[in-house]
């Protein structure tokens, strides 16, 4: 299992097809393209200057909109995942 | 539904026509062009260094002036929206 | 009405003619040219790291000296205004 | 009257002649040339992160050494002044 | 023994072969390539602004995913190690 | 008298000859060349975010090692001085 | 004696020969090359935002790994030393 560190979140990105059928579609002429995925694992959150841990606002299973160029792609047990910082998550899709 | 994260705000931008009829029109020779829109959804706000959440100063339904180049355009259920950071909102139009 | 957000201030810039007759004139060989205007509306101020709102030091009606290149020009009900951050205000002219 | 905002200070710069007769003369081969002036007006000072106002360390009438390239030149009632940030003041000349 | 200072962590990087057999494989067209290693030693952690030491979230023996371009390679008693900052560790692999 | 402001320190730089006879000599192939001087006057120190003044760690009469390219050269009553920030002082020479 | 200021540390760098015989050898194809030395003197440490002095984690006599390109080389009583910031020390070698 991948346990993200700090304010990182592990995502399973949705494919282009899913996106078009589902809710969010990117405007084609936008430079920074966000896209959608499902939250697989969430870190403990970043630590504030007063030592307090800031629990991330998303949880396992959430469907989220994120900045496409954010994060690192990794492959784990044959599946591709994306590890992003919480600040790169734009919105939860309900 | 789109639930913006952190200090993000979801906007429905007004079209050029609405703007000219309504109140705010941009001077044509200005480099950073703000424009107007309606607030659709508001995040929980950014977290201060002391752990306090800072509730955004705008609410659903507000008509706002924002920096045109700010944010990400997204399409949701066939409608286009703009997701911006609260700091990119310039003024509320009353 | 325009209600500026955060530490923003709405100004009505004075024309060149008013400036020469009035008090402040810019030296012509200065790169960053400040100029003068009247305060139309003032935001609630920026929020400090401890959550405290910092009320702006200027108020409606003040005549101020500001950085010419600061802010966004907007047109509202046929009048042009300038929206600047409080830090771009240089001095109050009494 | 010019009332500088924040940590700004209004100065009346001394002319080259005064400087040579007085105390401080700049070495000619120095890139950042400080120079001297008299303090005309002082702002309320910058606000610390804890909300405390930091009263400037100089007062009206002080003769100061400042960074020549700092600040904005303004003309007020036919006189030229310089508006600088307090941090651009190098030393008080006693 | 190498005792890393501050928020540094000493790692023993896994070879390409181990990675392919194990869990994580990098997508070949990704610019910032994270890779895997074992934690050998952990510093006392960074010091927050309030003076509190922030104990690192990883411990000796953890298998971690890290940014390939992070840190300094060192050789100690004939073995190569990598010294990275804790923030360059992406995830723990369980 | 020159009374440095904030965290500034007024130094009387030692000439090349003094340096070679005294203790510290710079390696000739080093890009950032520190050099030596005597402390003439010390500011009240920088103000921390909590409003506390941080008294400088050097005092009048100390012989110090400093970054050669730091600070502004000034001439006062026919003597050349250097005004540097305290952080540009490298070490006290005892 | 050299008394480093702030978070500075005075080091006596080990020569290439000592390094090869001792423990740490740098990989030749690494861009930022750390190297080893002995701690000669330690400053009082940096001051946190709350005014607290942060005592350095190394002490006189420690053998340390440091960033080769960090710090200033100085010569004192015929010996060459290196003055670095504590953050440029990578690890203590036990």
**Separation between Cα atoms, residue D64 and residue D62, nearest integer Å:** 6
Which pLDDT score, from 0 to 100, does residue B75 have? 85
Q: Is the separation of the CB atoms in A46 and A54 below 8 Å?
A: yes
In a domain, D1, yes or no: no
Tell me the C-alpha distance between B83 and A66, whole Å.
11
Q: For residues G65 and G46, what is the distance between their CA atoms, to the nearest angstrom?
A: 20
- Residue B21's pLDDT is 45
Cα separation, B91 vs B72, in Å, equals 19
Residue B1 included in any domain = no
The residue of F91, F92, F93, F94 whose CB has the most chain G CBs within 10 angstroms, and thus the best one to mutate to test that interface, is F91
Q: In this complex, do A74 and E48 lie within 8 Å of one another by their Cβ atoms?
A: no
Looking at per-residue confidence, does A57 or D67 come out higher? A57
Pick D49 or B86 by higher pLDDT: B86
In chain D, the largest separation of any two C-alpha atoms, in whole Å, equals: 44
Contact across the interface for B2 and A91, Cβ inside 8 Å: yes
Mean pLDDT for chain A? 84
**How many residues appear in chain A?**
94
Handedness of CA G87, G88, G91, G94 (dihedral sign): negative
Report pLDDT for F35: 83
D31-34 own/partner pairs: CB under 8 Å, 24+ apart: D32/D67, D32/D68, D32/D69, D32/F72, D33/D68, D33/D69, D33/F72, D34/D65, D34/D66, D34/D67, D34/D68, D34/D90, D34/F72, D34/F74, D34/F83
| pLDDT tens digits, one per residue of F3-33 | 999 999 999 998 754 445 456 655 544 444 5
G80 with G41: CB under 8 angstroms? no
Query: What average pLDDT does range D30-39 have in this prediction?
Result: 72
| SS3 category, G19 | helix
Residue E2 placed within a domain: no
In terms of residue numbers, what domain contains E52? Answer: 8-92
What does pLDDT average to over chain B?
A: 84
Instruction: Tell me the DSSP string of G35-93.
Output: EEEEEEEE---EEPTTS-EE--S--TT-EEEEETT-SEEEEETTEEEEEEEGGGEEEEE
- Per-residue pLDDT reduced to its tens digit, E35-79: 899 999 999 999 998 889 999 999 999 999 998 788 888 888 889
Choose the most confident range, by mean pLDDT, from B20-24, D78-82, G9-13: G9-13
What mean pLDDT is predicted for residues G19-25? 53
Instruction: Please report the pLDDT score of residue F73 as a whole number.
Output: 87
Closest C-alpha among A58, A35, A70 to residue B83: A35
Separation CA G91–CA G39 (nearest Å): 12
pLDDT at B30: 44
CA F60, F64, F70, F72 torsion-angle sign: positive
* Cα separation, C90 vs C88, whole angstroms: 6
State the total domains in chain G: 1
**CATH code of B47's domain:** 2.30.33.40
- Among chain F residues, CA nearest to G2: F93
For residue B32, pLDDT beyond 70: no
Say whether pLDDT at A19 is over 60.
Answer: no
HEC per residue, A2-31: EEECCCEEEEEECCHHHHHHCCEECCCCCC
Instruction: Give the model's confidence band at E90: pLDDT under 50 very low, under 70 low, under 90 confident, else very high.
Output: very high
Residue E1 domain-assigned (yes or no)? no
Residue B25, number of CB atoms within 10 A of its CB: 18
Residue G91 has pLDDT above 80, yes or no: yes
Dihedrals phi, psi of C29, to nearest 5 degrees: -100, 25
One-character DSSP codes across E21-60: HSSEE--TT-SS-EEEEEEEEE---EEPTTS-EE--S--T
| Predicted local confidence at residue E26, as pLDDT | 54
Contact F69, F30 (CB under 8 A): no
Average pLDDT over residues D65-77: 86
Rounded-to-integer distance, Cα B29 and Cα B42, Å: 31
Of B44 and B74, the structure prediction assigns the larger pLDDT to B44
Rounded to two decimals, the ipTM of the complex is 0.80
Q: What is the DSSP letter of G15?
A: P
Q: What is the pLDDT of residue D38?
A: 97
Q: Which residues of chain A does E90 touch, with a Cβ-Cβ cutoff of 8 Å?
A: 4-5, 8, 72, 74, 83
Tell me the mean pLDDT in the region D57-86: 91
- F75 contacts D34 by C-beta, under 8 angstroms: no
State the DSSP code for F28.
T
CA–CA gap between residue D76 and residue C23 (Å, rounded): 5
The beta-carbon neighbor of E34 closest among A47, A72, A80 is: A72
Higher pLDDT pick, E19 / B78? B78
Measure E26 CA to nearest chain A CA, in Å.
5
**G3 in any annotated domain:** no
Residue D53 lies in a domain: yes
Residue B54 contacts C where some CB pair is shorter than 8 Å: yes
What does the alpha-carbon distance between residue F28 and residue E46 come to, in Å, rounded to a whole number? 36
pLDDT digits (tens, 9 = 90+) for F43-75: 999 999 888 999 999 999 999 999 878 888 888
| Cross-chain Cβ contact F90/G83 below 8 Å | yes
| Sign of the alpha-carbon torsion through C13, C19, C24, C25 | positive
Which one of B4, B51, B75 has the shortest CB-CB distance to A91? B4
Touching check for C30 and chain B: CB below 8 Å? no
E29 shares contact with chain G (CB less than 8 Å):
no
Determine what percent of chain D is predicted with pLDDT higher than 70: 80
pLDDT for position G25: 58
pLDDT score of G82: 94
Q: How confident is the model at residue D23 (pLDDT cuts 50, 70, 90)?
A: low
Q: Report how many helices (DSSP H) and strands (DSSP E) chain F contains, helices first.
A: 1, 10
Q: What are phi and psi of B18, to 5 degrees?
A: -55, -40
C1 falls within a domain: no
Q: From CA B69, how far away is CA B35, in angstroms rounded?
A: 9
Record: contact D3-C94, CB cut-off 8 A? yes
Residue found under tokens 């946190």: G48
Interface chains of chain F (3 or more CB pairs under 8 Å): D, G
pLDDT digits (tens, 9 = 90+) for G43-75: 999 999 889 999 999 999 999 999 878 888 888
The DSSP output letter for D21 is H
Give CA–CA dist G91/E10, Å, rounded.
9
Nearest CA in chain D to C62: D3
Closest-CA residue of chain A to B78: A23
| CB-CB under 8 Å, D48 with F5 | no
CB C72 within 8 A of CB C82: yes
- Residue C70, pLDDT score: 86
Which chain C residue is nearest to residue B54, measuring alpha carbons? C51
Q: What is the pLDDT of residues C13-65, one digit of tens each?
A: 987 544 454 566 555 444 445 689 999 999 999 999 888 999 999 999 999 99
G79 touches chain F (CB under 8 A): no
How far apart, in Å, are the Cα atoms of C73 and each of B27, B59, B84, C12? 6, 24, 20, 10
Could you tell me if B49 and B18 are in contact, meaning their C-beta atoms sit under 8 angstroms apart?
no
pLDDT of res. A22: 54
pLDDT-based confidence at residue E25 (cuts at 50, 70, 90): low
Residue D88, SS3 per DSSP: helix
Whether residue D2 is contained in a domain is answered as no
Phi, psi (5° rounding) for residue B52? Answer: -75, 135
Q: Which run of H or E residues covers position B18?
A: helix B16-21
């Amino acid at each position: 299992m991948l346990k993200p560190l700090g304010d990182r979140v592990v995502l399973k990105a949705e494919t282009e097809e899913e996106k078009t059928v589902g809710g969010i579609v990117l405007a084609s002429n936008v430079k920074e393209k966000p896209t959608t995925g499902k939250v697989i694992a969430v870190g403990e959150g970043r630590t504030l200057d007063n030592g307090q841990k800031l629990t991330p606002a998303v949880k396992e299973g959430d469907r989220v909109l994120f900045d496409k160029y954010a994060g690192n792609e990794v492959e784990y047990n044959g599946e591709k995942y994306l590890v992003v910082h919480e600040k790169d998550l734009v919105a939860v899709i309900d």
